[in-house]
């Protein structure tokens, strides 16, 4: 039988669990329904930010993200100051991925009874610290009571020159795939926090990479102005997952050289000491918040050299875009690798 709510209640009907399709499978079930509601020139679900025409010179970019206690952070294992910084940084990273300049944020909080005013003061000190660093005002938000967990929901806005936003759908065959920072450090930091691993000379750096991520804002703005930089997004769920978004949107495939992944010496030593796979952390760990970009092959060298001169750090080439459809092929020193762990996906990674 069908109930008034439209859900089949027969004894033989098994309702699907969200873990069976994951975060992005859920989004795919409804995103297409809203496409015909978008005004001309607007871009909605499917990129790091929504894109809305602002005036004759600029487009507005908007992103929103939610951090839930015990899912995205452990309140007892991160300082409120660092949590305030991180909550804004992960949103600014989305703005950076569009090649846009951030211009403001909104913060909403759901607060359980046991949270003290002093804790909230320190959290807002951290949020203000990063806001001031980038000249970004807090423009509003909301507060409400939570029955159990602390929840932060942040929206960030920015602007980009008309038609110049870097989209996931712009990758082209022959593009060099590169990242703007090291991979896997944050995932290692999370391992240390979650498992209370012994401290050594490497662990403070790795824990800081997890608790104090850096949004590559200046790098994103610079790359957004370069002809030859095609697709761009930030690395939040691990390249094994994030790269697939670019490939799906662009209708392309990719080859990734695992031996080219930028791994820090601290990560490699930590993994060796703790019998962990540094490559797995680098591809599937997530929360690195560097930028994942594709660059036209003929222009890669000049962009690489200019980028290094500008930021005193290199771009790291890790592979190439090809004509295959939504397929990633992994290689280690030229040998094909299979059964690589996927990146983070809410609900499937419970």
126 and 56, same structural domain?
Answer: yes
Residue with tokens 């670019």: 246
**Contact of 51 with 42, CB cutoff 8 Å:** yes
96 and 201, same structural domain?
Answer: no
User: Is the pLDDT reported for residue 274 higher than 50?
Assistant: yes
Task: Tell me, yes or no, whether 68 lies in a domain.
Answer: yes
What whole-number distance in Å separates Cα of residue 182 and Cα of residue 262? Answer: 5
pLDDT for the residue numbered 104: 97
C-alpha 177, offset from chain centre: 16
Please indicate whether residue 20 or residue 204 has the higher confidence score (pLDDT): 204
Task: Tell me, yes or no, whether 113 lies in a domain.
Answer: yes
Percent of the chain with pLDDT over 90: 79
Task: Tell me, yes or no, whether 326 lies in a domain.
Answer: yes
pLDDT for the residue numbered 24: 64
Nearest CA among 106, 109, 101 for reference residue 139: 106
Q: What is the overall mean pLDDT for the chain? A: 91
Residue 54: pLDDT band (50, 70, 90) is confident
253 and 190, same structural domain?
Answer: yes
pLDDT tens by residue, 255-273: 999 999 999 999 999 999 9
CATH number assigned to the domain comprising residue 312:
3.90.650.10
How big is the CA angle at 213 (ends 211 and 219), to the nearest 5 degrees? 175
C-alpha 112, offset from chain centre: 27
Average pLDDT for 73-96: 96
258 and 143, same structural domain?
Answer: no
Task: Tell me, yes or no, whether 345 lies in a domain.
Answer: no
pLDDT for the residue numbered 43: 77
pLDDT for the residue numbered 13: 67
pLDDT for the residue numbered 55: 87
Task: Tell me, yes or no, whether 8 lies in a domain.
Answer: no
Domain's final residue, options 107, 134, 161:
161
User: Is the pLDDT reported for residue 4 higher than 70?
Assistant: no
- How big is the chain, counted in residues? 350
Task: Tell me, yes or no, whether 109 lies in a domain.
Answer: yes
298 and 189, same structural domain?
Answer: yes
Domain's final residue, options 103, 128, 161:
161
User: Is the pLDDT reported for residue 8 higher than 60?
Assistant: no
User: Is the pLDDT reported for residue 110 higher than 60?
Assistant: yes
Provide the residue range defining the domain that includes 241: 168-337
Average pLDDT for 190-215: 94
User: Is the pLDDT reported for residue 350 higher than 60?
Assistant: no
pLDDT tens by residue, 315-341: 999 999 999 999 999 999 999 998 777
Task: Tell me, yes or no, whether 35 lies in a domain.
Answer: yes
174 and 104, same structural domain?
Answer: no
User: Is the pLDDT reported for residue 18 higher than 90?
Assistant: no
203 and 153, same structural domain?
Answer: no
For the chain, where are the alpha helices, taking DSSP H only?
A: 22-30, 80-97, 117-134, 185-195, 203-211, 217-224, 239-250, 265-273, 278-284, 300-311
CATH number assigned to the domain comprising residue 98:
3.30.1330.10
232 and 330, same structural domain?
Answer: yes
pLDDT for the residue numbered 346: 45
198 and 136, same structural domain?
Answer: no
226 and 295, same structural domain?
Answer: yes
202 and 133, same structural domain?
Answer: no
Q: What is the total count of domains within the chain?
A: 2
180 and 157, same structural domain?
Answer: no
Task: Tell me, yes or no, whether 38 lies in a domain.
Answer: yes
User: Is the pLDDT reported for residue 42 higher than 80?
Assistant: no
**Contact of 339 with 283, CB cutoff 8 Å:** no
pLDDT tens by residue, 276-299: 999 999 999 999 999 999 999 999
Burial class (CB in 10 A: 0-12, 13-18, 19+), 322: middle
User: Is the pLDDT reported for residue 349 higher than 70?
Assistant: no
Domain's final residue, options 130, 146, 161:
161
What whole-number distance in Å separates Cα of residue 124 and Cα of residue 246? Answer: 34
Percent of the chain with pLDDT over 70: 91
pLDDT tens by residue, 112-130: 999 999 999 999 999 999 9
pLDDT for the residue numbered 149: 97
């Amino acid at each position: 039988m069908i109930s008034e709510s439209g859900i089949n209640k027969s004894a033989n009907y098994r309702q699907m669990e969200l873990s069976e399709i994951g975060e992005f499978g859920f989004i795919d079930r409804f995103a297409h329904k809203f496409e015909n509601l978008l005004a001309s020139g607007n871009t909605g679900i499917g990129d790091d930010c929504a894109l809305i025409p602002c005036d004759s010179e600029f487009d507005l970019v908007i992103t929103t993200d939610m951090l839930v206690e015990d899912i995205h952070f452990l309140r007892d294992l991160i300082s409120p100051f660092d949590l305030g910084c991180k909550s804004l940084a992960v949103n600014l990273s989305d703005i950076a991925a569009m090649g846009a300049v951030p211009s403001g944020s909104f913060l909403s909080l759901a607060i359980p009874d046991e949270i003290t005013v002093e804790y909230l003061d320190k959290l807002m000190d951290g949020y203000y610290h990063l806001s001031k660093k980038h000249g970004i005002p807090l423009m509003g938000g909301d507060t409400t009571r939570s029955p159990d967990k602390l929840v932060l929901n942040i929206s960030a806005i920015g602007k980009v020159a008309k038609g110049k936003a870097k989209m996931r759908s712009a990758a082209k065959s022959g593009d060099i795939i590169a990242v703007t920072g090291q991979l896997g450090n944050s995932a290692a930091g999370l391992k240390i926090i979650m498992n209370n691993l012994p401290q050594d000379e490497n662990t403070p750096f790795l824990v800081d990479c997890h608790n104090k991520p850096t949004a590559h804002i200046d790098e994103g703005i610079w790359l957004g102005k370069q002809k030859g930089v095609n697709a761009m997004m930030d690395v939040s769920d691990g390249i094994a997952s994030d790269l697939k978004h670019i490939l799906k949107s662009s209708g392309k495939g990719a080859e990734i050289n695992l031996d080219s992944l930028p791994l820090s010496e601290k990560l490699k030593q930590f993994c060796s000491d703790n019998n962990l796979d540094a490559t797995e952390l680098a591809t599937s760990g997530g929360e690195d918040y560097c930028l994942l970009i594709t660059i036209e092959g003929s222009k890669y060298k000049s962009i690489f050299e200019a980028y290094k001169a500008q930021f005193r750090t290199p771009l790291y080439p890790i592979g190439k875009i090809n004509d295959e459809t939504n397929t990633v092929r992994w290689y280690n020193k030229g040998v094909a690798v299979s059964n690589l762990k996927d990146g983070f996906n809410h609900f499937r990674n419970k």
